[in-house]
Copies of this chain bind each other. A is one copy, B any other.
Amino acid sequence: MDLYKSTIEKLESRNVKIEEIAELVMFLQKAYIEDLTMEESIQTVKDVLSKREVQHAVLTGIFLDEATEKNLVPEPLYSVINKDAGLYGVDETLALAIVNVYGSIGLTNFGYIDRLKPGLINKVDELGKDSSVCNTFLDDLVGAIAAAAASKIAHTSEKK
Protein backbone atom coordinates (compact mmCIF):
# COMPACT_ATOMS: atom_id res chain seq x y z
CA MET A 1 0.00 0.00 0.00
CA ASP A 2 2.07 2.93 -1.26
CA LEU A 3 0.20 6.06 -0.21
CA TYR A 4 2.60 8.39 -1.99
CA LYS A 5 2.19 6.66 -5.34
CA SER A 6 -1.59 6.42 -4.90
CA THR A 7 -1.79 10.13 -4.14
CA ILE A 8 0.17 11.12 -7.26
CA GLU A 9 -1.89 8.77 -9.43
CA LYS A 10 -5.17 10.01 -7.99
CA LEU A 11 -4.19 13.63 -8.65
CA GLU A 12 -3.21 12.76 -12.24
CA SER A 13 -6.50 10.93 -12.78
CA ARG A 14 -8.17 14.23 -11.83
CA ASN A 15 -6.05 16.10 -14.43
CA VAL A 16 -3.61 17.58 -11.93
CA LYS A 17 0.09 17.25 -12.71
CA ILE A 18 2.91 17.82 -10.23
CA GLU A 19 4.44 20.28 -12.69
CA GLU A 20 1.28 22.40 -12.65
CA ILE A 21 1.30 22.56 -8.86
CA ALA A 22 4.97 23.54 -9.06
CA GLU A 23 4.01 26.40 -11.37
CA LEU A 24 1.68 27.69 -8.66
CA VAL A 25 4.61 27.56 -6.25
CA MET A 26 6.71 29.59 -8.70
CA PHE A 27 3.84 32.09 -8.97
CA LEU A 28 3.79 32.46 -5.17
CA GLN A 29 7.52 32.56 -4.47
CA LYS A 30 9.22 34.05 -7.53
CA ALA A 31 8.93 37.59 -6.16
CA TYR A 32 10.73 36.61 -2.95
CA ILE A 33 13.29 34.09 -4.12
CA GLU A 34 14.61 35.16 -7.49
CA ASP A 35 16.73 32.14 -8.25
CA LEU A 36 13.97 29.61 -7.53
CA THR A 37 13.97 26.95 -10.24
CA MET A 38 11.14 24.76 -11.55
CA GLU A 39 13.28 21.78 -10.54
CA GLU A 40 13.37 22.91 -6.91
CA SER A 41 9.64 23.67 -6.97
CA ILE A 42 8.83 20.22 -8.32
CA GLN A 43 11.01 18.56 -5.70
CA THR A 44 9.32 20.54 -2.93
CA VAL A 45 5.84 19.62 -4.14
CA LYS A 46 6.95 15.98 -4.01
CA ASP A 47 8.26 16.51 -0.47
CA VAL A 48 4.87 17.92 0.57
CA LEU A 49 3.09 14.97 -1.04
CA SER A 50 5.29 12.52 0.83
CA LYS A 51 3.81 13.66 4.16
CA ARG A 52 1.25 11.23 5.57
CA GLU A 53 -1.08 14.03 6.74
CA VAL A 54 -1.14 15.47 3.21
CA GLN A 55 -1.77 12.10 1.54
CA HIS A 56 -4.71 11.40 3.84
CA ALA A 57 -6.30 14.79 3.21
CA VAL A 58 -5.85 14.56 -0.58
CA LEU A 59 -7.21 11.02 -0.84
CA THR A 60 -10.17 11.81 1.40
CA GLY A 61 -11.04 15.04 -0.43
CA ILE A 62 -10.85 13.49 -3.88
CA PHE A 63 -12.94 10.55 -2.68
CA LEU A 64 -15.62 13.01 -1.60
CA ASP A 65 -15.54 14.72 -5.00
CA GLU A 66 -15.78 11.40 -6.83
CA ALA A 67 -18.51 10.03 -4.57
CA THR A 68 -20.50 13.18 -5.31
CA GLU A 69 -20.03 12.70 -9.06
CA LYS A 70 -21.17 9.08 -8.78
CA ASN A 71 -24.26 10.07 -6.82
CA LEU A 72 -23.18 8.06 -3.77
CA VAL A 73 -23.68 10.94 -1.35
CA PRO A 74 -27.17 11.15 0.18
CA GLU A 75 -29.16 14.36 0.39
CA PRO A 76 -28.94 16.97 1.81
CA LEU A 77 -25.13 16.61 1.79
CA TYR A 78 -25.09 15.85 -1.94
CA SER A 79 -26.50 19.25 -2.88
CA VAL A 80 -24.23 21.07 -0.46
CA ILE A 81 -21.05 19.52 -1.93
CA ASN A 82 -22.22 19.50 -5.54
CA LYS A 83 -23.09 23.17 -5.56
CA ASP A 84 -19.86 23.94 -3.65
CA ALA A 85 -22.16 25.87 -1.36
CA GLY A 86 -20.40 29.01 -0.20
CA LEU A 87 -21.06 27.98 3.37
CA TYR A 88 -19.59 24.48 3.10
CA GLY A 89 -16.20 24.75 4.81
CA VAL A 90 -15.05 21.13 5.00
CA ASP A 91 -12.97 21.64 1.85
CA GLU A 92 -11.14 24.56 3.46
CA THR A 93 -10.79 22.55 6.68
CA LEU A 94 -9.00 19.71 4.86
CA ALA A 95 -6.87 22.27 3.01
CA LEU A 96 -5.86 23.85 6.31
CA ALA A 97 -4.58 20.49 7.56
CA ILE A 98 -2.26 20.42 4.54
CA VAL A 99 -1.11 24.02 4.88
CA ASN A 100 -0.38 23.57 8.60
CA VAL A 101 2.23 20.90 7.92
CA TYR A 102 4.75 23.70 7.40
CA GLY A 103 3.24 26.13 9.87
CA SER A 104 0.77 28.96 9.79
CA ILE A 105 2.84 31.14 7.45
CA GLY A 106 1.23 29.29 4.54
CA LEU A 107 -2.26 30.54 5.40
CA THR A 108 -1.94 33.77 3.46
CA ASN A 109 -0.62 32.12 0.32
CA PHE A 110 -3.43 29.57 0.43
CA GLY A 111 -6.17 32.17 0.64
CA TYR A 112 -4.49 34.32 -1.99
CA ILE A 113 -4.36 31.73 -4.78
CA ASP A 114 -7.63 30.12 -3.75
CA ARG A 115 -9.40 33.36 -4.56
CA LEU A 116 -7.18 34.70 -7.36
CA LYS A 117 -7.30 31.31 -9.13
CA PRO A 118 -4.11 31.44 -11.24
CA GLY A 119 -3.26 28.67 -13.71
CA LEU A 120 -4.08 25.19 -12.47
CA ILE A 121 -6.64 26.38 -9.90
CA ASN A 122 -8.65 28.13 -12.60
CA LYS A 123 -8.42 25.00 -14.76
CA VAL A 124 -9.69 22.79 -11.92
CA ASP A 125 -12.42 25.29 -11.21
CA GLU A 126 -13.54 25.43 -14.84
CA LEU A 127 -13.51 21.63 -15.15
CA GLY A 128 -15.74 21.50 -12.08
CA LYS A 129 -18.40 23.55 -13.85
CA ASP A 130 -19.20 20.59 -16.11
CA SER A 131 -22.33 19.00 -14.67
CA SER A 132 -20.68 15.57 -14.57
CA VAL A 133 -17.65 16.77 -12.63
CA CYS A 134 -17.33 17.76 -8.96
CA ASN A 135 -14.10 19.55 -7.98
CA THR A 136 -15.34 21.09 -4.74
CA PHE A 137 -12.41 19.67 -2.77
CA LEU A 138 -9.79 19.47 -5.52
CA ASP A 139 -9.22 23.20 -6.06
CA ASP A 140 -8.65 23.76 -2.33
CA LEU A 141 -6.38 20.71 -2.04
CA VAL A 142 -4.25 21.88 -4.94
CA GLY A 143 -3.98 25.42 -3.57
CA ALA A 144 -3.04 24.04 -0.15
CA ILE A 145 -0.29 21.80 -1.56
CA ALA A 146 1.18 24.79 -3.43
CA ALA A 147 0.94 27.01 -0.33
CA ALA A 148 2.61 24.35 1.84
CA ALA A 149 5.41 23.95 -0.71
CA ALA A 150 5.92 27.73 -0.76
CA SER A 151 6.22 27.68 3.05
CA LYS A 152 8.78 24.89 2.90
CA ILE A 153 10.83 26.86 0.38
CA ALA A 154 10.68 29.94 2.62
CA HIS A 155 11.92 27.86 5.57
CA THR A 156 14.73 26.29 3.54
CA SER A 157 15.72 29.55 1.89
CA GLU A 158 16.29 31.24 5.23
CA LYS A 159 18.78 28.57 6.31
CA LYS A 160 21.03 29.20 3.32
Contacts and interface: CB of A to CB of B under 8 A. Distances in A.
A38 interface: no
Q: Assembly of this chain: how many copies? A: 4
A158 B104 contact: no
Contacts of A87: 52, 56, 103, 105, 154-155, 158
A23 interface: no
Contact of A97 (B32, B101, B104): B104
Interface in A105-160: 105, 107-112, 114-116, 154-155, 158
Nearest to A58: B77
Contacts of A108: 92, 110-111, 114-115
Nearest to A154: B86
Given A93-B104, A104-B53, A112-B111, A59 B86 contact: no
A82 B155 CA distance: 18
A114 B52 CA distance: 22
